[in-house]
Amino acid sequence: MQLLLTRIKLNRLRTVCRYSTPSLNDTYEAISVHNPRLNALPHIHPLDPTQEANGPLSGWSFAVKSNIASPLPTTCASSMLSSYTSPFSATAVTKLEHAGARMIGTSNMDEFGMGSLNQSSVHGPAHNLHPENGNVLHSPGGSSGGSAAAVAARMCRVALGSDTGGSVRLPASWCGVVGFKPSYGRVSRYGLVSYASSLDSVGILARSTQDIRHTFNIISAPDPHDMTCMSKSLRSRIDTLCASREWISHNTIASEPLKGVRVGVPSEFWVDELSPSAIDAWKRGAAKLESLGCDVIPVSLPHTPHTLPAYYTLALAEASSNLARFDGIRFGTRHPPTQSTRASLKYAQTRTMGFGDEVKRRILLGTFVMSARAYENYYLPSQRIRRLVQREFNRIFAMPNALCTTNTKTDARNVDKVDAILFPTATDTAPVQGSNNGLSAYVNDVMTVSANMAGIPAISVPFGLCEGMPLGLQIAAQYGDDDLVLRIARHLEPQPA
């Protein structure tokens, strides 16, 4: 009888969410049905029917990743911060609330954002909604897996995540939703607990690109609290560069809405780990873009094979520094030693007990990378590779990088340059939770880290199923060209019936 009632609730929720905007009551009903199985929202804000909100997002519900400061506990899915509640909310959270959206909870994640499977959380692993009729629990991806699972299960309309090396886009691909990483600095990082400061971005997950765009328009603004946030003058210069591309028209015919847009297919992303289903989706995606009026041409990014090791070298070095503050004195739950009173042992006990195995592993590797002997052998070469990756993107994109030029006009497009690139978000569909450990867990980021290394915008859109599991395709463009990425994704994503 209980199983029958659950199925009736699920069918009702699907009907309501397909044909109309779900109410907050429907959202909380979805939470009661799905959250016990998915473990996507460890902290839930109780529904207050007397609370009224006005604004462009009035009636919207959103979830916040547990490493973004909000009125609920900001735990980073770690026992180190299990009892921590931030005295302020992140800029992105505040802007959504001021726009009328209602926060419904914090989402599960890999501890401190370190992982791609969402299985290193103090709250326990999060799970994928797909396959909906299956008994085997799959990974939702990481580290923003809880946000993706919550959106997929209609427990919220949109969710905020953080993307350091694909932590928004990989879960979006595996959960069958849209995941957007804006250009570095488009959205304020104020209130985001840093993993790797030069790579972190606040991202958005939703069931449609249209919801992504509405949310992005609200939270994308200069912020005096964040020195890395784009200034008003830089945003203005980027807008001028985008508008000066005469070959891209918004007044296109309905059958070819992307007429004039040139999309590149980078051959270096055809890696050995790429599954046949991902390759098939990639080919079908390129064919669909051609049918929409795009010119699809091959491009080359020669340093892509070196991006993953360089990314982990830089990210872990920054993580080692950023997480030094969690010592039980400045931040973190204190675990005093049982016998010794030496200060170093007080720190050691707190960090040993407070951090999980994956976090401790990455701190140790990052500390080694920054040591005197390893700095010149690993860290500096990785920074050089990062610069080469950025230059390669500048070379293939027709619009110049606003950070590297003072021009306010884009020159006539070279025949070898493109406006965006298309490639898979993940090498395969989501694995069974707990089955993909060891080195293979790090390889999941091979398709996503390039965008973070270059700071460019990238979005993952769902593009079909393989044996009931979703697959996503990724669109990326020049630094600051977020609008074009969203425009292409809008036409590439499956259209509602």
Please identify every residue annotated as catalytic.
65, 143, 167
Residue 105 to residue 73: CA distance in whole angstroms: 10
448 neighbors 423 (Cβ within 8 angstroms): no
215: enclosing H helix or E strand: helix 209-219
Residue 427 to residue 272: CA distance in whole angstroms: 9
Determine how many CB atoms are found less than 10 A away from the CB of residue 51: 8
Residue 458 DSSP SS3: strand
Torsion of CA 94, 97, 98, 101, to 10 degrees: 150
Asked whether the CA dihedral 195, 201, 202, 203 is positive or negative, the reply is negative
Residue 428 to residue 98: CA distance in whole angstroms: 39
Asked whether the CA dihedral 186, 178, 485, 382 is positive or negative, the reply is positive
Residue 442 to residue 427: CA distance in whole angstroms: 12
Q: Which residue has the tokens 């995606």?
A: 285
Q: How far apart are the first and last CA of the chain?
A: 32
91 neighbors 185 (Cβ within 8 angstroms): no
Q: Starting at the earlier edge strand, list the strands of the sheet with 102-107.
A: 43-44, 102-107, 61-65, 158-163, 201-206, 178-181, 458-466, 469-477, 420-424, 262-266, 295-299
Q: Which residue has the tokens 């886009």?
A: 169
DSSP state of 195: S
Residue 411 DSSP SS3: coil
Residue 262 to residue 198: CA distance in whole angstroms: 29
